[in-house]
Amino acid sequence: QVQLVESGGGLVQAGGSLRLSCVASGSTRTINLMGWFRQAPGKQRELVARISSSGSTYHVDSVKGRFTISQDNAKNTMYLQMNSLKPEDTAVYYCNAATGYGNIWGQGTQVTVSS
């Protein structure tokens, strides 16, 4: 099994930056793809960015040029650098891992952007 623990959320003013971290433990060799999702109040959970084990990345249009997903395989850690934050980025951010056993989710970390 894989366990995921996120950190790095918080309250920031519009235009500010935050960096989220997701540490994976357990059977990390079974991870094929990792990603960040977010869920705002009253809305469905949505993909923000994802990264493959080889390092290929994808960012949704709404965060392109502002957010960057990366990973440090030696530390089993995935990051989401978020710059130029907007109030509409306010949400609970979840780390996700697609493994041979299925999808694994972290507990989530709150990001709040004030205007």
Predicted pLDDT at 6: 95
User: What letters, b where the CB count within 10 A reaches 16 and e where it falls short, cover 70-103?
Assistant: ebeeeebebbbebeebeeebbbbbbbbbbbeeee
- What pLDDT is stored for residue 100 in this prediction? 86
pLDDT of residue 101: 87
Residue 32 has a pLDDT of 93
**Mean pLDDT per 10-residue segment, the chain (115 residues):** 95 98 94 97 97 95 98 96 98 96 95 97
Q: Which residues contact 54 (CB under 8 A, 6 or more apart)?
A: none
Q: In sequence order, which residues have a C-beta less than 8 Å from that of residue 4 and are 6 or more positions away?
A: 22, 23, 24, 95, 96, 97, 104, 105, 106
Answer yes or no: are the C-beta atoms of 102 and 1 closer than 8 Å.
Answer: no
